[in-house]
Chain A
Amino acid sequence: MPNGTAISKGTIRVLQLYPREMNIYGDWGNVLVLKQRLTWHGYTPEILEHNAGDPFPDDIDLIIGGGGQDSGQLVIQEDLQALAPTLRALAEDGFPMLLICGLYQLFGNFFRTHDGGVIPGIGVLDLETRGGEKRLIGNVVATSTEFGDIHGYENHSGQTFLGPGLAPLATVTKGEGNNAGDQHEGARYRNIVASYLHGSLLPKNPAIADFLIRTAVERKYGSFEPGVIDDSLAEAARRHAGARPR
C-alpha cells in the first residue's frame, strides 16, 4: 500500500455536509473510504466539515452528504436553503458529489411529509419525495451499466420519484430503492451520485468511490493517475452481501 513516504500527487479537499445532523447508519464510512482511497492512490486527502451557520469554504474538490433523523433535517433547513445557489452552480459545473438518503431527498425539489406539510428542497436534482406510511428497510442489490452491481442497505420512509429528464443511478434487482413502485434506485446527474443506500455505500462499491475521486482529481489537476489498490476484501464482502436475505 502506498503511504506517507511517497511524494503526494496532490491534495484533494473533501467537504462533509452537516456531519452533526446528517450522519447516520455509517455515513462516516463513506468519508473514511474517500480519505483512505485518496491516500492509496497517492493523493493527500483533507476532510472538512460544513455545519449549519459555518461559512462555506470555496477551495473544495468533492462534496459528500448523508442521512439524518427527521429532526436533524429541520435544523439544517435554513442553512441549506442559503447554500442553494452555490450548490446548484457547482452541480451544473460538474462538481463531484455523493448524496445519501436525507441529503439526496433535500437536493430534490421538495419533500411532502405524510401529514401534508412540504419541506422545500434546493432543486439541484429534478425529483420529489413523498412521506410514506411504511418504511422501506432491507438489503438492496441494484445494477447499473456504469458501476456494475451496487450493494447496500436501505432504511427510509420517504419515497422518491425522478423527473422525466433525470436518470436513476441503478435498477433494483433486490429491495425497493427510490420507491415501492418503480425499479429505480438513486439518481445520476452530471457528476452527482445520489442514493438511498447505506451499508456504508462506498466500502462495498469502490467503483463509485473511484469515480468520485477520479472526477475530483481530473477537475483539479487535469489527469488522474490511479494507484494499485487490492479490492479483494470488497469483492468477497459483495459476494456475501448479495447472498443475504432481504
Chain B
Amino acid sequence: MNPLSVLVGKAVRRASKLRGGGSALPGLVVERLDPGFMGRALTGLKHGVVVVSGTNGKTTTTKMVVELLEGQGLKVFTNRTGSNFTRGVAAALLGEVDWRGRLDADIAVLELDEAHAVHFVRLVPPRYSLLLNVLRDQLDRFGEIDATTRLLETIAAATTGAVILNREDPRVAGIAASIPTADVVYFGLDASLRSTFPNDDELRGAAGIAPASALRADVVLDQVDGNSAVFLLSGSTADPTADAAAGAAFESVHVDLRLRGVYNIFNAAAALATARAVLGAAVAKDALIASLAAVEPAFGRGESLVVDGRALELVLVKNPSGFRLGLKSFDPSGCATMIAINDNYADGRDMSWLWDVDFDSLGLDGVDVVSGVRAYDMALRLKYDDVPVRAVEPDLPAALKEFISGNADLPKRIFCTYTAMLAVRRDLSKITKVEVVS
C-alpha cells in the first residue's frame, strides 16, 4: 500500500484538470512514484480485467461492453475516450480509487491501443481479451500488419480466462493457435455479410473474398438492415465453450440499435460475445439485448449534432477499411459532404491510405468542401475517381464556415481524421452544443 502516491496523484490530477491540461500527466506522476499502483488497483476485482484491442472500433466496442455489463448489474470501471494508453488508464484510476488505492468495481473494461496493451498486460494480466481486427493503420508506428498481429498474440498469451476473437479476420482468428491456456471464443458474420466487411487482404476487390469459416462462433451477425440486426446466439446455457462442444443450436434475436453504421453493428456481436464470456450461465439475455439496443454512438463515431436546425454528422475515418465502411454506411444522396484530412502524428503522416479507399459512391453527388492539412492530397484522390469537388480549403475553420453557409438547407456529413475531428468539434462548439470530452 502506498497511500501517499495515491494522494499525490489525485492532487496532480485535480491540478491538471484545473489547468485544462491533458489526462496523461497524473498517470505519469503516479507511475514514477509508485510503479505497482495500477496492478494493485486492478487485481482482486471479482470479474477481473477485460482488454479490448485491435485497429478499428475499440472505442465504440468498449462502450458497448461496459453498457452490456452494467445492464447485468455489474459495477464497471473503464477508461473513457482518448486515453487508450497505459498512462491514461492510471490517470483514470486515480479518479476512481479511494485513498488506499482500492477500486470499487466488479470488473474493469479497458480500451488499449495494441502497443500499449502489450505493455499493460505485462503489469496486469487480463482475465478476458477481445481482439477486434488487424487492419492497415498507423503503419508508420507499427511497421507492418504482421507485426501488429504479433502484438495481439502477446495480449492473448497473457490472458487467463477467455480470448474473444474475430473469426472473419484471418490474422485475428489465427491467434487461436498460439493461445496456451485461455478459452477461445469467436464472434463472426453470416456468409452473406462477408463481402460487406473485407479484411485487410480483401481490400482490393479483385482479390476476392475468402470462403466462410468453419469455426463455430458464439455470436454471429446474421442480417443487417439499416439499424436493425439479427444476431445468432450459440446455445441456450450461455456457456459458449460447453455449447460449442455440445454442438448446441443457435437462438436468433432481433435488435433495433441506436448505433449507426454496419461496422458498429458487427462490433455489437463482439460485445455480446464478450459479455457472455464474462457472465457465462448467469447472463440475463433479455436485459443484454435491451442494453445493446440503448447504446448511443461514442464521440466522433457517427456522432450527430444539430447546426442551424439541420443534422450534422461527424464520421471519424482513420484507415482504408474504416473509410470504406463509413462510405458504405451513410447514403450520400440528399446530404452535403465535407472531407477533412490531417496528417498530424495522431492521424498518421502517410497519405498512401487514401489510395486504398474507393470513392466512387460519392461520384454522383460530389463533395462540397475538402479541407485539412492534406486537403490537396484528398482532392487529388477524388479527381482520380472522377468525384467532383466544389471547393478545396486547407484552413479548417474557413472550410467549415463555407460548408455550413453554403448548404443551409441540407443535412451535412463530415468525414474527418482524428485531429481534424477535434478541430471541427472545437469550432462547432462555438455555434452549437457539442459534448466536451477531456
Question: A32: which of B352, B355, B394 is its contact (CB, 8 Å)?
Answer: B355
In angstroms, Cα B380 to Cα A29, docked, is 11
- A204 CB contacts on chain B under 8 angstroms: 377, 380
Question: Known contacts being A155-B139, A240-B394, is A28 close to B356, with CB within 8 Å?
Answer: yes
- Nearest residue (CB) in B for A37 is B384
Within 8 A of B (CB), among A34-61: 36, 49
Q: Is the CB of B379 within 8 A of A233?
A: yes
B383 within 8 A of A: yes
Cβ of A107 to closest chain B Cβ, rounded Å: 20
- A49 CB contacts on chain B under 8 angstroms: 206
Cβ of B319 to closest chain A Cβ, rounded Å: 11
Binds A, one of B151-159, B190-198, B343-351: B343-351
Question: B350: which of A25, A27, A236 is its contact (CB, 8 Å)?
Answer: A25
In angstroms, Cα B381 to Cα A153, docked, is 16
Within 8 A of A (CB), among B359-384: 373-377, 379-381, 383-384
Question: Known contacts being A198-B352, A244-B373, is A138 close to B140, with CB within 8 Å?
Answer: yes
- B350 CB contacts on chain A under 8 angstroms: 25, 153, 155, 198-199
How extensive is the interface on chain A, given as a class? 35 or more
- A233 CB contacts on chain B under 8 angstroms: 376, 379-380, 383, 392
Cβ of A192 to closest chain B Cβ, rounded Å: 22
Residue of A139, A240, A245 contacting most chain B CB atoms (<10 Å) = A240
Q: Is the CB of B140 within 8 A of A155?
A: yes
Task: Give the number of residue pairs across the A-B interface with Cβ within 8 Å.
Answer: 98
Question: Known contacts being A69-B146, A237-B380, is A199 close to B351, with CB within 8 Å?
Answer: yes
- A24 CB contacts on chain B under 8 angstroms: 136
Q: Is the CB of A19 within 8 A of B206?
A: yes
A108 within 8 A of B: no
Question: B353: which of A25, A36, A234, A239 is its contact (CB, 8 Å)?
Answer: A25
A23 within 8 A of B: yes
In angstroms, Cα B206 to Cα A23, docked, is 12
In angstroms, Cα B76 to Cα A28, docked, is 44
In angstroms, Cα B149 to Cα A71, docked, is 13
A89 within 8 A of B: no
In angstroms, Cα B136 to Cα A139, docked, is 18
Question: Known contacts being A19-B206, A203-B384, A233-B379, is A135 close to B143, with CB within 8 Å?
Answer: yes
Q: Is the CB of B381 within 8 A of A203?
A: yes
- Nearest residue (CB) in B for A16 is B206
Question: Known contacts being A139-B349, A237-B377, is A26 close to B143, with CB within 8 Å?
Answer: no
B side interface size, CB within 8 A: 33
Question: B352: which of A69, A157, A200, A244 is its contact (CB, 8 Å)?
Answer: A200
In angstroms, Cα B351 to Cα A240, docked, is 12
Question: Known contacts being A69-B145, A70-B146, is A199 close to B352, with CB within 8 Å?
Answer: yes
A166 within 8 A of B: no
- B376 CB contacts on chain A under 8 angstroms: 233, 236-237, 239-240
Question: Known contacts being A19-B204, A233-B379, is A157 close to B373, with CB within 8 Å?
Answer: no
- Nearest residue (CB) in B for A233 is B380
Within 8 A of B (CB), among A183-213: 198-200, 203-204
B18 within 8 A of A: no
Q: What is the predominant secondary structure among interface residues of chain A facing chain B?
A: mixed
Within 8 A of B (CB), among A217-246: 233-234, 236-237, 239-241, 244-245
- B385 CB contacts on chain A under 8 angstroms: 32
In angstroms, Cα B383 to Cα A124, docked, is 35
Residue of A25, A49, A70 contacting most chain B CB atoms (<10 Å) = A25
- B140 CB contacts on chain A under 8 angstroms: 137-138, 155
B144 within 8 A of A: yes
Instruction: Return the CB mask of B216-255 against A: 1 if under 8 Å, else 0.
Output: 0000000000000000000000000000000000000000
In angstroms, Cα B145 to Cα A23, docked, is 13
B209 within 8 A of A: no
Q: Is the CB of A200 within 8 A of B380?
A: no
In angstroms, Cα B145 to Cα A36, docked, is 30
B398 within 8 A of A: no
In angstroms, Cα B343 to Cα A139, docked, is 11
Q: Is the CB of B355 within 8 A of A26?
A: yes
In angstroms, Cα B146 to Cα A69, docked, is 7
B354 within 8 A of A: yes
In angstroms, Cα B137 to Cα A25, docked, is 10
In angstroms, Cα B327 to Cα A187, docked, is 38
In angstroms, Cα B207 to Cα A28, docked, is 12
In angstroms, Cα B352 to Cα A24, docked, is 9
Question: Known contacts being A70-B146, A233-B379, A233-B383, is A26 close to B373, with CB within 8 Å?
Answer: no
- Nearest residue (CB) in B for A154 is B350
In angstroms, Cα B374 to Cα A49, docked, is 31
Q: Is the CB of A26 within 8 A of B377?
A: no
- Nearest residue (CB) in B for A1 is B386
Instruction: Return the CB mask of B134-170 against A: 1 if under 8 Å, else 0.
Output: 0010011001111000000000000000000000000
- A25 CB contacts on chain B under 8 angstroms: 136, 139, 350, 352-353, 356
Question: A29: which of B136, B143, B349, B352 is its contact (CB, 8 Å)?
Answer: B352
Q: Is the CB of B354 within 8 A of A23?
A: no
Question: B354: which of A26, A139, A239 is its contact (CB, 8 Å)?
Answer: A26
A20 within 8 A of B: yes
Q: Is the CB of A36 within 8 A of B139?
A: no
A33 within 8 A of B: yes
Q: Is the CB of A153 within 8 A of B379?
A: no
Given contacts A155-B143, A233-B379, 12 further A-B contacts (CB under 8 A): A20-B204, A24-B136, A25-B136, A26-B356, A28-B355, A29-B355, A33-B384, A199-B350, A199-B352, A203-B355, A203-B381, A244-B343
Give 10 pairs: A residue, B residue, CB < 8 Å, sorted on A.
A19-B204, A29-B355, A36-B384, A49-B206, A71-B146, A237-B374, A237-B376, A240-B374, A240-B377, A244-B343
Query: Nearest 10 CB-CB pairs, A to B?
Result: A29-B355, A26-B355, A26-B352, A237-B376, A25-B352, A236-B376, A198-B352, A233-B380, A153-B350, A200-B355
Residues of B within 8 A of A (CB): 136, 139-140, 143-146, 201, 204, 206-207, 343, 349-356, 373-377, 379-381, 383-385, 392, 394
Residues of A within 8 A of B (CB): 19-20, 23-29, 32-33, 36, 49, 69-71, 135, 137-139, 153, 155, 157, 198-200, 203-204, 233-234, 236-237, 239-241, 244-245
